[in-house]
């Protein structure tokens, strides 16, 4: 069978494809099919590692003509494992990771296979940045198409909000450009509507002066301060300037975790992790109340650091190959009852590597509206994100159940909408997608009908065509 597949695809692709075609049985096949989440173990029939846009066109045409399932791999970091499929073709953009910076226009032109680290390193040479996520190994493509929450969200919005142009390979294998001047409907859909409308080979982002140094708060208080801590986080966030973007985090200090002192290993914590986008000296003063919740925190790593260091702060906490199951829920408020229920669930985590994260939604992120982007969720006060991170397959059921029970029990404080970059395995299907996009769903379904009426691009945060 493998030989047949190889012969068939070689006849179609080999003379046109400039990149690398990887088949089952090839020496690098297992490495090429592996993704960040160790729970994902799928065996595609072919991995087409593209060298350029023409390769993407060739691979899309092949998938359309053969009917093979099609996945698109950027950074391979999506928790649901959309980057790889069973028995189909994977269009792998990882070699297309170039970043070009136009300093005068403050624009970055970014290949579809680039990671946050690729982008940040290129833009920080000029003291510029655009909002991205908080783990630098994440691919910019999936992050942006799903929204993109990060350390600059309240100051400058989502990653998607700052997408000002895109080059897209459509289901017909054609190249189209989306911007405010052409195919504006497509640009709107790409700003948070997922990979439903084609394969983005180039992203164009607006850049802003950030860094090279920023004040970064990373303070861990004992878990007995959890209620007071989340109340402080709620009250602080309500009046903080847009320069401030802070995460509230509940968890347990893992045994052996450096650089935490050994005496605090295994202790529950409530933490604040946040960046001040303006002058670092101002940031230290503004964010000081978060550090003063208790006179003797478990650990306080706060200080003025390079922006690149802040962007990489979480990297070691999310190694490739660990098992991950994350879900989200948009909270309409964070009253004391909600806080108590969050705390009740948070410290029941089966794994010390797990955390419960609260993302404040404010500033520019909240001020933009539905005409700007397909992203739905600006009405929320916070995004609740219990993330289960564990090491062994024997613990799968306990960790997945913890997240699901947690989310189900918080429904009283939500309208059911959620942030789709933390989707679990999207086991709720269409119902989840409709809840996630709310009033934007029908407009997105019509856009899907226009750009992908056969739903070729369906192994993603999928929206079915209107028809």
Within 10 A of 206 (CB to CB), how many other CB atoms are there? Answer: 18
Q: How many residues are given for the chain?
A: 467
CA–CA dist 227, 231 (Å, integer): 6
Q: What pLDDT score does 195 carry?
A: 96
**pLDDT tens digits, 217-231:** 999 999 999 999 999
pLDDT at 2 over 60: no
Phi, psi for 300 (deg, rounded to 5) = -135, 105
Task: Summarize the confidence of residues 165-175 as an average pLDDT.
Answer: 98
- The H helix count followed by the E strand count for the chain is 16, 20
Half-sphere exposure of 93 (CA within 13 A, CB side): 33
CA distances from 369 to 40, 188, 364, 365, 441 (A): 35, 11, 10, 9, 15
CA–CA dist 347, 269 (Å, integer): 9
10-18 — which CB contacts under 8 Å span 24+ positions? 12/62, 13/48, 13/58, 13/59, 13/62, 16/54, 16/58, 17/48, 17/55, 17/58, 17/59, 18/50, 18/51, 18/52, 18/54, 18/55
Q: Where are the domains of the chain?
A: 2-92, 99-209+441-451, 213-413
**pLDDT tens digits, 38-90:** 999 999 999 999 999 999 999 999 999 999 999 999 999 999 999 999 999 99
148: left (phi over 0), alpha (psi -120 to 50) or beta: left
Q: What pLDDT score does 13 carry?
A: 77
% the chain with pLDDT above 90: 94
CA–CA dist 259, 337 (Å, integer): 34
pLDDT band at 11 (very low <50, low <70, confident <90, very high): low
Q: Is 178 strand, coil or helix?
A: strand
CATH fold label, 99-209+441-451: 3.30.465
Q: What pLDDT score does 7 carry?
A: 59
> Cis before residue 212, ω within 30 degrees of 0?
yes
Phi, psi for 371 (deg, rounded to 5) = -75, -20
Residue bearing tokens 């429904």: 411
CA–CA dist 358, 233 (Å, integer): 9
Q: What is the value of pTM for the model shown?
A: 0.96
| Share of the chain residues as helix, strand and coil, in percent rounded to the nearest 5 | 35, 25, 45
CA–CA dist 222, 264 (Å, integer): 9
pLDDT at 145 over 50: yes
Q: What pLDDT score does 246 carry?
A: 98
Within 10 A of 430 (CB to CB), how many other CB atoms are there? Answer: 12
CA–CA dist 298, 366 (Å, integer): 33
Please say whether the beta carbons of 373 and 158 come within 8 A: yes
Residue 457, C-beta contacts closer than 8 angstroms, at least 6 positions apart = 70, 72, 171, 195, 196, 197, 198, 199
**pLDDT tens digits, 377-396:** 999 999 999 999 999 999 99
**pLDDT tens digits, 237-256:** 999 999 999 999 999 999 99
% the chain with pLDDT above 70: 97
Please say whether the beta carbons of 145 and 193 come within 8 A: yes
pLDDT band at 1 (very low <50, low <70, confident <90, very high): very low
Residue 67, C-beta contacts closer than 8 angstroms, at least 6 positions apart = none
Burial 36-60 (b: 16+ CB within 10 A, else e): bbbbbebebbbbbbbeebbbbbbbb
Residue bearing tokens 């990489």: 312
Within 10 A of 428 (CB to CB), how many other CB atoms are there? Answer: 15
Report which secondary-structure segment, H or E, holds 344: helix 336-346
Please say whether the beta carbons of 43 and 100 come within 8 A: no
- For domain 2-92, the question of CATH label 3.30.43.10 is answered with yes
Residue 105: alpha-carbon gap to chain centroid: 26
On the question of a common fold for 2-92 and 99-209+441-451, the answer reads no
Half-sphere exposure of 398 (CA within 13 A, CB side): 13
**pLDDT tens digits, 422-454:** 999 999 989 999 989 999 999 999 999 999 999
CA–CA dist 82, 76 (Å, integer): 8
Within 10 A of 121 (CB to CB), how many other CB atoms are there? Answer: 14
Going by their DSSP bridges, the two strands 382-390 and 355-360 should be labelled as antiparallel
Please say whether the beta carbons of 444 and 437 come within 8 A: yes
> What's 213-413's CATH class?
alpha beta
Q: What pLDDT score does 444 carry?
A: 97
Within 10 A of 429 (CB to CB), how many other CB atoms are there? Answer: 9
Residue 390: alpha-carbon gap to chain centroid: 19
**pLDDT tens digits, 248-297:** 999 999 999 988 999 999 999 999 999 999 999 999 999 999 999 999 99
Residue 258, C-beta contacts closer than 8 angstroms, at least 6 positions apart = none
Phi, psi for 104 (deg, rounded to 5) = -65, -45
Q: Is 366 strand, coil or helix?
A: helix
pLDDT band at 16 (very low <50, low <70, confident <90, very high): confident
């Amino acid at each position: 069978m493998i030989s047949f597949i190889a012969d068939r695809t070689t006849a179609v692709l080999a003379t046109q494809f400039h990149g690398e075609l990887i088949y089952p049985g090839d020496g690098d096949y297992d490495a090429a099919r592996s993704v960040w989440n160790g729970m994902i173990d799928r065996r595609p029939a072919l991995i087409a590692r593209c060298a350029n846009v023409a390769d993407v066109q060739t691979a899309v045409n092949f998938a359309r003509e053969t009917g093979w399932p099609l996945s698109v791999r950027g950074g391979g970091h999506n928790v649901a494992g959309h980057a790889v499929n069973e028995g189909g073709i994977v269009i792998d953009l990882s070699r297309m990771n170039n970043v070009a910076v136009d300093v005068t226009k403050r624009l970055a032109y970014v290949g579809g296979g680039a990671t946050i680290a690729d982008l940040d390193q290129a833009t920080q040479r000029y003291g510029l940045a655009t909002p991205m996520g908080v783990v630098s190994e994440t691919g910019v493509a999936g992050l942006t198409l799903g929204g993109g929450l990060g350390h600059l969200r309240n100051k400058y919005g989502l990653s998607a909000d700052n997408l000002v142009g895109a080059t897209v390979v459509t289901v017909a294998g054609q190249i189209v450009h989306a911007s405010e001047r052409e195919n504006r409907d497509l640009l709107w859909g790409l700003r948070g509507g997922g990979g439903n409308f084609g394969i983005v080979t180039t992203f164009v982002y607006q850049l802003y002066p950030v860094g090279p140094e920023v004040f970064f708060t990373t303070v861990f208080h004992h878990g007995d301060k959890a209620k007071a801590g989340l109340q402080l986080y709620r009250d602080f966030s309500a009046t903080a300037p847009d320069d401030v973007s802070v995460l509230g985090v509940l968890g347990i200090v893992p045994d052996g975790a450096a650089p935490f002192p050994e005496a605090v290993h295994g202790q529950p914590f409530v933490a604040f992790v946040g960046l001040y986008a303006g002058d670092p000296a101002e940031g230290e003063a503004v964010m000081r109340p978060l550090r003063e919740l208790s006179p003797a925190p478990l650990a306080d790593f706060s200080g003025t650091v390079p922006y690149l260091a802040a962007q990489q702060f979480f990297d070691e906490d999310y190694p490739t190959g660990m098992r991950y199951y994350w879900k989200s829920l948009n909270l309409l408020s964070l009253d004391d009852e909600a806080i108590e229920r969050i705390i009740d669930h948070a410290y029941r985590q089966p794994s010390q590597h797990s955390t419960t994260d609260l993302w404040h939604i404010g500033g520019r992120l909240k001020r933009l509206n539905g005409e700007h982007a397909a992203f739905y969720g600006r009405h929320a006060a916070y995004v609740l994100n219990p993330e289960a991170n564990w090491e062994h397959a024997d613990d799968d059921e306990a960790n997945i159940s913890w997240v699901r029970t947690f989310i189900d029990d918080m429904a009283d404080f939500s309208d059911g909408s959620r942030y789709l970059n933390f989707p679990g395995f999207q086991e709720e299907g269409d119902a989840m997608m409709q809840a996630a996009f709310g009033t934007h769903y029908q407009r997105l379904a019509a856009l899907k009908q226009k750009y992908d009426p056969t739903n070729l691009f369906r192994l993603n945060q999928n929206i079915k065509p209107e028809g």
